[in-house]
Structure 1
Amino acid sequence: MSTRRPSRPVVVGVDGSHAAVSAAVWAVDEAVRRDVPLRLTCVVDGADDAGSAARDLATAEIAVRECIVAIETDRTPVKIEVEIRQGDPTAVLIEASRSAVMLCVGATGREHTPGAALGAHIGELTSAAHCPVAVIRPDSSALDTSGVVAEIDDSCDIAAVLEHGVAEARGRHATLSILSTWQPRFTDIHDTQARAAGNRRTRAGLERKLDWLRRKHPDLTIKMAAAQGSTTTYLHRHAASVDLLIVGRTRRDGLCDLIGSAGHATLIDTMCSVLVCPPRSTL
């Protein structure tokens, strides 16, 4: 008689912040789509005295309960697991990612609560996690439409980005836009004709390179997109229609402009969350 291996959960880092609650609600669909548990993980410091330990535990339980209430309000049935652990929040979540199908955290943390370091150390999580990491903005659920953008460049993460882009777009019944950026010559920065020509040239290159993707997924609407300069410029121009950006961990321009405190400031006028994918060899 064979025994079924335990399902790899979707793990949510809980730290008492509004963004963490949003991450928990966002993660529900990810868990339901995969038919796996949703695990709420809150990490407290190892207090030296019993009184501090008890207070930390009580605060952690409140933070987890806030997430559960929000999930239950959404009325989507999902199996919820709760884990409250002691230690360094970043180290604990990186370890948890070994057995997770996805790790979800809020884009901003909350001071003076268990796991407050999460917001400050998102960069560490995304660079060392053993699974994709979703960094969720606290207002991500306010967007009426659902749009998925997969950014590709000359890094080694293209396969992982496309794989998750297809899965996320299909799960949301959304259009998948595949984005590539290009840099103009200094003399063309403000030349609208040069910008239009550069965009056409970049989109044509994507069409040739990724024709196989459309043929492989004929049921999915896939569009090619180009942007002069940076991905954040594209996101600001399409802020009303994009709620998830998928990027590779080793993207050419790094991650600082998309996640952590710098990313939060850059994307302050958008509701776009970010899914960071490690190379397929580490998934």
Structure 2
Amino acid sequence: MSEVTTKPVIVGIDGSDQAQYAAVWAVEEALRRHAVLKLIYVVRTDLTGTLSASEYEADVDSAKAALAAARTAIAKRNPSVVVETSIAEGSPAGVLLAESPDAGLICIGSSGIGRISRAILGSTAASVAEEAACAVVVVRGAESTVAQHDPLRWIVVPVTRHTEGNRTVITEAIAEARYRRWPMLAVGTHSSHGDNATSDELDRLVADWQRQFPDVHVYPISCDTDMAQFLRNSPDINGLVVLDAGRSTELAQIIGGVTHAHRADLAVLVARENADVRVTHAPARHR
């Protein structure tokens, strides 16, 4: 692996399959950023208060087992990634938020992010995505027992009239598309804020991106729904949705859709200003 030069990519580990899936997904992010992959397990004391010695010992044993399983999965994906592990106490969301100013990215599995659980109990993933000081990716693995062998994956960007001026979203989306070699889908979605992009505006924006970044394949599509409904209507779309931080409250609806959840691997990246991610025009091609 290249020399580590940037802030770590942090993954919240809780022993769930989705958290382990997020750890594996984060491997490419660590490689792209030349960063350490830091796995954090939080022993919860926010709900139960102080633990007895035996309870604490049992929870630490569970933490060690979950971290070891995540390490094994990461090594199978790419053994060159530098991995660090940590066990903390408190609220998972609180611990990850405290780490966020010194992180390049936080990755979390989508366990428990359904609409009802978010409304009643809250969700670590949703809370961190909305409040973190760095970019956040929430990852959901497909639950279908019949998975496509090699599905086409997209970088999906919801487009409004304000997207053109949002360099943070464009920077993240282009950097991800280039590294992963996935095409981009620019989706002109319906917005209740009245900032919907017309078909002509969407086409002009995509044409501009194609001129600036000719090495990335960008395709426009207009719809009359919001992003969550668009994905529910398109259950075959796999990949990464890139959102502006101002739209982070849409995360639960986007990634928690039951119909889409059972058919596709999907991650949502909430983009924030991050000095570790930069994008330039495509390099000149020599003939």
Distance 1:241 1:15 in 2: 27
Question: Of residues 256, 260, 266 in structure 2, which corresponds to 1:272?
Answer: 266
Aligned position for 1:190: none
Aligned position for 2:61: 58
Contact 2:13 / 2:40 at 8 angstroms: preserved in 1? yes
Aligned position for 1:82: 85
Contact 2:126 / 2:249 at 8 angstroms: preserved in 1? no
Q: Tell me whether 1:99 sits opposite 2:107 in the alignment.
A: no
Offset, 1:137: 0.6
Contact 2:235 / 2:259 at 8 angstroms: preserved in 1? no
Q: Tell me whether 1:161 sits opposite 2:169 in the alignment.
A: yes
Contact 1:15 / 1:42 at 8 angstroms: preserved in 2? yes
SS at match of 2:80: coil
Offset, 1:53: 1.5
Question: Of residues 198, 207, 211 in structure 2, which corresponds to 1:215?
Answer: 211
Distance 1:135 1:254 in 2: 12
Aligned position for 2:123: 120
TM-score, normalised via structure 1 length: 0.79
Which structure 1 segments of 5+ residues have no match? Answer: 111-117, 185-198
Distance 2:207 2:249 in 1: 25
Offset, 1:140: 8.4
Offset, 1:251: 2.6
Name the amino acid aligned to 2:251: L
Q: Tell me whether 1:151 sits opposite 2:147 in the alignment.
A: no
Name the amino acid aligned to 1:255: L
Aligned position for 1:194: none
SS at match of 1:147: strand
SS at match of 1:255: helix
SS at match of 2:223: strand
Contact 1:22 / 1:139 at 8 angstroms: preserved in 2? no
SS at match of 2:232: helix
Aligned position for 2:225: 229
Please give the residue correspondences for 1:4-83 in structure 2 after superposition, counting only pairs within 5 Å: 7-46=6-45, 47-83=50-86
Offset, 1:5: 9.5
SS at match of 2:189: strand
1:219-253 deviations in Å (ceiling 9; x for gaps): 11111221111223332344334321111221398
Question: Of residues 182, 187, 199 in structure 2, which corresponds to 1:179?
Answer: 187
1:108-138 deviations in Å (ceiling 9; x for gaps): 159xxxxxxx983322111110111111113
Name the amino acid aligned to 2:265: M
Offset, 1:265: 3.0
Distance 2:57 2:242 in 1: 40
Distance 2:234 2:131 in 1: 30
CA separation of 1:217 and 1:6: change in aligned 2, threshold 3 A = closer
CA separation of 1:76 and 1:236: change in aligned 2, threshold 3 A = farther
Contact 2:140 / 2:266 at 8 angstroms: preserved in 1? yes
CA separation of 1:255 and 1:154: change in aligned 2, threshold 3 A = farther
CA separation of 1:210 and 1:268: change in aligned 2, threshold 3 A = closer
TM-score, normalised via structure 2 length: 0.78
Contact 2:110 / 2:140 at 8 angstroms: preserved in 1? yes
**What is the root-mean-square deviation of aligned Cα atoms in Å?**
3.1
Aligned position for 1:188: none
Offset, 1:264: 4.6
CA separation of 1:109 and 1:257: change in aligned 2, threshold 3 A = closer
CA separation of 1:137 and 1:119: change in aligned 2, threshold 3 A = farther
SS at match of 1:48: coil
Structure 1 range deviating more: 120-129 or 94-103: 120-129
CA separation of 1:204 and 1:242: change in aligned 2, threshold 3 A = farther
Offset, 1:21: 0.3
Question: Of residues 243, 249, 257 in structure 1, which corresponds to 2:239?
Answer: 243
